[in-house]
Structure 1
Amino acid sequence: MGDQTGGRVAFFLHTDDFALDHARFTAAGVEWVRPPADRPYGRVAVWKDLYGNLWDLIQPAPDHPAS
C-alpha cells in the first residue's frame, strides 16, 4: 500500500480556500511533501496520507477550466 503510483501524486483535492485548508491540514499534523507553490494551473501543495499515498491540495487558477 502507498506506492502503487511509483511515488507520483495519485489523488487531487480541490479547494476554494487554499490558505484556510492548508492551515487546517497543517494543524491536524499532515506531512507536507512539497510546500505551497503557484503554478499556471493554480496554487498547489503535496501531502502524504497515512498509507504513503501522495495527494495534491489544489486551488485552480481563476481562469482555469476546473475553477
Structure 2
Amino acid sequence: MVFICAVLCIPIYFLLFLGIVDPRELIMWGNRWKFKEEPELSDELLRITKYSSLVCIIVLTLIWIATIISFFK
C-alpha cells in the first residue's frame, strides 16, 4: 500500500513542484497548440498557481505521513 502510494505521488509532486518553479509552463502545458502566439498570463494567475501548488504539496505530504503512520500502527 505504501509503495503504491509512493509511486503514484511522484508524478503529482513533480507537477506541483513545476507549479512553484515555473507556473507559466504548467498553465500552458498541453494548451500551446491552441494559440499562434504565447498568451499573456496575468501576475495574479501566476501567483495563485504558485500558492495553490504549495498548499497542495503541504496537504499531500500530510496525507502521505498519515497513511504511513496508519499503515505501521
Which category of TM-score, normalised to the shorter sequence, fits these structures? Answer: under 0.3
TM-score (norm 2): 0.25
Indicate the structure with greater helix content: 2
Higher Cα Rg, which structure: 2
Indicate the structure with greater strand content: 1
TM-score (norm 1): 0.26
